[in-house]
Chains A and B, each alone.
Chain A
Amino acid sequence: MLQMQNINKIYRTELVETHALREFNLTVKEGEFVTVTGPSGSGKTTFLNIAGLLEEISQGKYMLDGVDVVGLKDKELSRLRNEKIGFIFQSFNLIPDLNLFENVDVPLRYRGFSAKERKRRIEEALEKVGLAARMKHLPAQLSGGQQQRVAIARALAGEPKFLLADEPTGNLDSLMARQVMDLLKDINKQGTTIVMVTHDPALARSGQRNIQIVDGQVCDFSQFNRQEFIDSKTENDSSSTQDKVTETSEV
């Protein structure tokens, strides 16, 4: 589903170069539920933005569902994003002026579906998250958990193959967080690949596989050598990124 090889992402300013990702390698198979953890500043968000085609890479190769996305133009990237990727954000990112129906409608509009098809999909998606009865409500009239469920409905309406979730439960209480996680697991069981960034160790264990990003890199935790890590860390101290990456085996 997702194949990243030797990806580097460098942010350049006049004074400094920041290596957000370096020699980053990751493969996510179709139907997998991968959780991503790592300390702040390790490159998780950069990874998510690149995976979601929201940022370009500086070097490397990225294949998404068999498509080499490097060098694609904005129009093609947008179409891929629209057709293949669903986003779920920590702060829900619903558009406040639009009601639930219209919010879920947004990605479908860019897809070019007919009005009838859009209506069917919107109703189906809101039904799936248990909010079909409230489709004329504005986001502000819903609780946090309900807003996140709308965001999930919006992500699902286009039937994407790949769901990217950035701390989807970060703004929710534990009960609502559990409901959202159950919903994501259910979606994954139906075949959608999910990559979820989280800080919560318990949630990190709820995926099929957890990877850790440290110092903008992914590495196999099973081959981790503490002394080598310390040595390399000492060498890399002069660079602007800090950490190393561990990848755990299936949970």
Chain B
Amino acid sequence: MFKYYLQLAWKSLKATPVVTFLMVTAIALGIASCMGTLTIHHMMSKDPIPEKSQQLFALQLKSYDENQSSWGGFDDGFPSQVTYQDAMNLRRAKVALRQTAMLRTGGAVQVENSDVAPKLEPIRAADSEFFAMFNAPFGYGSTWDKNIDEQPVEVVVIGNKLNNELFGGGNNIGKTIMLNQKNFQIVGILKDWQPSPTFYDLNGGGFGDAEQVFIPFSLLPVHEYPSWGNNSSWKYEEVFTYQDKLASETHWIQYWVELKGDVNIQSYQSYLKAYIEEEQQGGRFTRKDAAADLKNVTHWLNYNEVVSKDNSVLVGLSFLLLVVCLVNTIGLLLAKFLRRAPEIGVRRALGASQTQVFLQHLVEVSLIGFVGGAFGILLTQLSLWLLKSNYSSYESLANMDLTMVLIAPTLAISASVLAGLYPAWKICRTQPSIYLKSQ
């Protein structure tokens, strides 16, 4: 019977093209508004590294002055970054399975080929384990030698996009690029890699492009790279030179560790406790309740409110618009179905049960929902494309993945069926004898 109902539905839709157009448009608009905001919300809330999100941890230290009850902008009083001194102490200990200190900086990138104009690029200074920790895949070469984390050498890993821009692609391991007019040898070229959000550094909001240039963290004091991220300090210090900054209590370095299993986590926490006690004894940490905290990726994203409340409100509003569209559709469906009451009277007389009439109409509204959903996806794609064209920060967010493409028709059909329930129920309950005499 489903095929028969589908045939009847198609005939019915063709018979009333204007009403069909209005209903499909209403549903398409409602779906497009929902899917647009939902797609952004979905991409924002997506686990950027599901295979490792429970074993990568952002490290925080609460070591500021005891007289300050809270500092750093978070409710739990832990600042999101660490000082250079702490970063250096922690990375020297090498207790975690993998670890990296890092900083977003930037500089002018040049190659010998004069046809390629120099360009200003953000640069990530990190340790050699950064790529393995965050599953950044190599197309050519690999990360730099571990010794370079201690003994700085001018080596660089570049991204695929920059490799294409500078060299037109291909294996360029061993070639040299200039960063701020200093030669760096390429040791690795990444494949396309764009975690979304860029959870390892949320200073810029987390939805910008991943860097295309990676250099050893150990080069920081050598070339005195400036911070392109947040720098905050809980006390006044006279910072005139780069060395002053390295020795200061300014929090400007991100620190991540990879820990596998509870035992590994507990042993690292014990190490952190011991480190804090050592710093307290040394007189650097004056706070009695100085503490360290580890937050895995999921926790870290929630903690930083990567998906803002505004975004959730927007999703709610778009669903309200869908409801408005559905209410209009209900009205149109009611008018359309009730106009068909005489035909239903005949069908009932010829043996159609109330259930069959009900199902016939639900199939019709499902078809409307399906068509509306299909147009809704097209409208969503158009709106996302417009968003990306006008705001580059939405490049990685305004994309419908398979989940969203599947959700759209499901939502459209469910919403249409919901809208059609009352009209279908109403028409199946009509008394056929009323219409048989008067048709």
CB distance from A122 to the nearest CB of B (A): 13
Chain A residues near B353 (CB, 8 Å)? 74-75, 78-79, 110
Give the complex CA separation of A89 and B433 in angstroms.
11
Quote the shortest CB–CB distance from B57 to chain A (angstroms): 62
List the B side residues contacting A111 at CB < 8 Å: 351
Tell yes or no: A49 within 8 A of B by CB. Answer: yes
A70 smallest CB distance to B (angstroms) = 17
Q: Are B354 and A74 in contact (CB under 8 A)?
A: yes
Q: Is B183 an interface residue, CB under 8 A from the partner? A: no
Interface string of A94-114 (1 = CB under 8 A from B): 110110000000110111000
> B118 interface residue, CB < 8 Å from A?
no
The minimal Cβ–Cβ distance linking B278 to chain A, given in whole angstroms, is 81
CB closest residue in chain B, given A96: B343
| Chain B, residue nearest A164 (CB) | B349
Please state if A93 and B356 are interface contacts (CB–CB under 8 Å).
no
| Contact pick for A154, options B350, B354, B356, CB 8 Å | B350
Residues A75 and B351 in contact, CB atoms below 8 Å apart? no
Q: A78-B353, A82-B350 are in contact. List 14 more A-B contacts (CB 8 A).
A: A45-B433, A55-B431, A75-B354, A78-B351, A78-B356, A81-B349, A89-B436, A97-B15, A107-B351, A110-B350, A110-B352, A111-B351, A154-B350, A158-B351
Say yes or no: A91 contacts B439, CB within 8 Å: yes
B98 in the interface (beta carbon within 8 A): no
Task: Give the most central of A81, A98, A111: most B CB within 10 Å.
Answer: A81
Within 8 A of B (CB), among A40-99: 45, 49, 52, 54-55, 74-75, 78-79, 81-83, 87, 89-91, 93-95, 97-98
**A54–B350 touching, CB < 8 Å:** no
Instruction: Give Cα A83–Cα B436 distance, bound, in whole angstroms.
Output: 19
**Count of chain A residues near B, Cβ 8 A:** 29
Complex contacts, A98 vs chain B, CB 8 Å? 11
- Contact bitstring B1-45, A, C-beta under 8 A = 1, else 0: 100100000011001000000000000000000000000000000
The answer to whether the Cβ of B77 comes within 8 Å of any Cβ in the partner chain is no
- Which of A55, A74, A90, A110 contacts B433 (CB under 8 A)? A55
Residues of B within 8 A of A87 (CB): 349-350, 436
Complex Cα distance A83/B354, Å? 16
Please report the C-alpha to C-alpha distance between residue A21 and residue B329 in the assembled complex, in whole angstroms: 42
Which residues of chain B come closer than 8 Å to A45, judged between CB atoms? 433, 437
**A93 and B11 form a contact (CB under 8 A):** no
In the bound complex, how far is the Cα of B434 from the Cα of A54, in angstroms? Answer: 10
B432 at the interface (CB under 8 A from A): yes
Known: A89-B436, A166-B437. A110 touches B11 (CB 8 A): no
Q: Could you tell me which residues of chain B, from 342 to 371, have a CB within 8 Å of some CB in chain A?
A: 342-343, 345-356
Q: How far apart sit A138 and B51, CA to CA, in the bound complex (Å)? A: 63
Q: Which of B1, B11, B353, B432 has the most CB of A within 10 A?
A: B353
- The interface size of chain B toward A, counting residues with CB under 8 Å, comes to 26
Q: How far is the CA of A154 from the CA of B347 in the complex (A)?
A: 12
**Which of A74, A75, A83, A110 has the most chain B CB within a 10 Å cutoff?**
A110
Contact B439 A107 (CB under 8 A): no
Q: Which residues of B contact A106 (CB under 8 A)?
A: 346-347, 350
Determine how close the nearest CB of chain B comes to the CB of A151; give it in whole angstroms: 10
B residues near A158, Cβ cutoff 8 Å: 351
Instruction: Kindly state the separation between the CA atoms of A49 and B433 in the bound complex, as whole angstroms.
Output: 6
Residues of chain B within 8 A (CB-CB) of A52 are 349
How far in angstroms is the closest Cβ of chain A from B350?
4
In chain B, what residue has the closest Cβ to A77?
B353
B348 touches A78 (CB 8 A): yes
What is the interface of chain A, defined by CB distance below 8 A to chain B? 45, 49, 52, 54-55, 74-75, 78-79, 81-83, 87, 89-91, 93-95, 97-98, 106-107, 109-111, 154, 158, 166
Residues of A within 8 A of B431 (CB): 54-55
Partner of A110, one of B15, B345, B351, B354: B351
Asked if B1 and A93 make an inter-chain contact with CB atoms under 8 angstroms apart, the answer reads no
- Chain B CB count within 10 A is highest, among A87, A91, A109, A166, for A109
B11 contacts across to A, CB distance below 8 A: 97-98
Q: Are B433 and A54 in contact (CB under 8 A)?
A: yes
Q: Are B355 and A75 in contact (CB under 8 A)?
A: yes
Q: How far is the CB of B121 from chain A (nearest CB, A)?
A: 66
Residues of chain A lying within 8 A (CB to CB) of residue B346:
93-95, 106
| Contact call A83/B437, Cβ cutoff below 8 A | no
Evaluate whether A107 and B350 lie within 8 angstroms (CB atoms) in the complex, with A75-B355, A89-B439, A95-B343 already known. yes
Residues of A within 8 A of B1 (CB): 109
**CB-defined contacts of A78 to chain B, threshold 8 Å:** 348, 351-354, 356
User: For B345, B347, B355, B438, which residue has the most chain A Cβ atoms within 10 angstroms?
Assistant: B347
Q: List 22 A-B contacts (CB under 8 A).
A: A45-B433, A45-B437, A52-B349, A74-B353, A74-B354, A75-B353, A75-B355, A78-B348, A79-B351, A81-B349, A81-B351, A87-B350, A87-B436, A91-B438, A93-B436, A98-B11, A106-B346, A106-B350, A109-B1, A110-B353, A110-B356, A166-B436
A45 CA to B437 CA, complexed, in Å = 9
Cβ–Cβ < 8 Å partners of A110 in chain B = 347, 350-353, 356
Closest-CB distance, B354 to chain A (whole angstroms): 5
Specify which chain A residues have a CB less than 8 angstroms from the CB of B433 in the assembled complex. Answer: 45, 49, 54-55
The chain B residue with its CB closest to the CB of A53 is B349
Question: B351: which of A82, A94, A166 is its contact (CB, 8 Å)?
Answer: A82
Q: Which 8 A-B pairs have the closest CB atoms?
A: A82-B351, A78-B353, A107-B350, A110-B351, A49-B433, A54-B433, A93-B346, A75-B353
Task: Determine how close the nearest CB of chain B comes to the CB of A75; give it in whole angstroms.
Answer: 5
In the bound assembly, the distance between CA atoms of A82 and B437 in angstroms comes to 19
Alpha-carbon gap, A49 to B434, bound state (A): 10
Q: Find out whether the CB atom of B439 lies under 8 angstroms from the CB atom of A54.
A: no
B residues less than 8 Å from A55 (CB atoms): 431, 433
Nearest-CB residue, chain B, relative to A105: B4
Question: Interface readout for B412-438 with A: 1 if CB under 8 Å, 0 if not?
Answer: 000000000000000000011100111
